[in-house]
Amino acid sequence: MKHDVTIELAGGKQIKFETGRIAKQASGAAFTTSGDNAVLATAVASPDPKEGIDFFPLTVEYREFTYAGGRIPVVHQARRPSFREGNPDVGQIDRPIRPLFPEAFRNENAGCAFVYSADKENDPDVLGINGASCALALSDIPFHGPVGAVRIGYIDGAYIVNPTYSERWSACLTLWSSAQGRHRDGRVRR
């Protein structure tokens, strides 16, 4: 069953989460859009724990392809190029979600975020963490989330939520932050 939720951000921007339309075989999937950016995030886990390991086997993948930015490469290239210089660090997705799994959970997990469409002004990486968190929350994987992420820019004495590429060039501070919901006493866990 298809379900849509739209979140209003400060400054008139929106993030839309859509589930139930694509990636139905994944444990959880969310198609996240903001403006002309679109990211599909999925989460899957093996049903059985992996024996003989003392770590949490989590694989996170974030991919941006040139077709997302509207360019189709003509020449075969050995690596898949991104539509912009330098892919974001997958740690932006891994770091906020890894501590939210149970301590003794040893099932192999994979979280993937693929950029399907990207405009030339807004960065889709924020959609990657928000979509991955949504996919995990929808799945049957034990996850003590969700997590929300935002990029803040300080420009001309004002804070801008998810600034565009051009706004980030003129910002004197650009900050990436992710947090898990509020505790009863009002504190925000970071």
Structure tokens belonging to residue 46: 């093996």
Q: What is the pLDDT of residue 33?
A: 94
Check if the beta carbon of residue 167 is closer than 8 Å to that of residue 153.
yes
Residues 23-82: tens digit of each pLDDT: 989 999 999 999 889 999 999 999 999 888 888 898 888 887 766 666 665 555 555 545
pTM of the prediction? Answer: 0.83
CA–CA separation, 153 and 126 (whole Å): 13
Cα–Cα dist 174/163, whole Å = 9
DSSP codes joined into one string, 101-130: S-TT--EEEEEEEEEEE--SSS-THHHHHH
Q: Read off the tokens for 129.
A: 């963490």
Nearest to 148 by CA among 182, 102, 172: 182
pLDDT of 132 > 90? The answer is yes
Structure tokens belonging to residue 94: 């891994």
Query: Using an 8 Å Cβ cutoff, are 161 and 152 in contact?
Result: yes
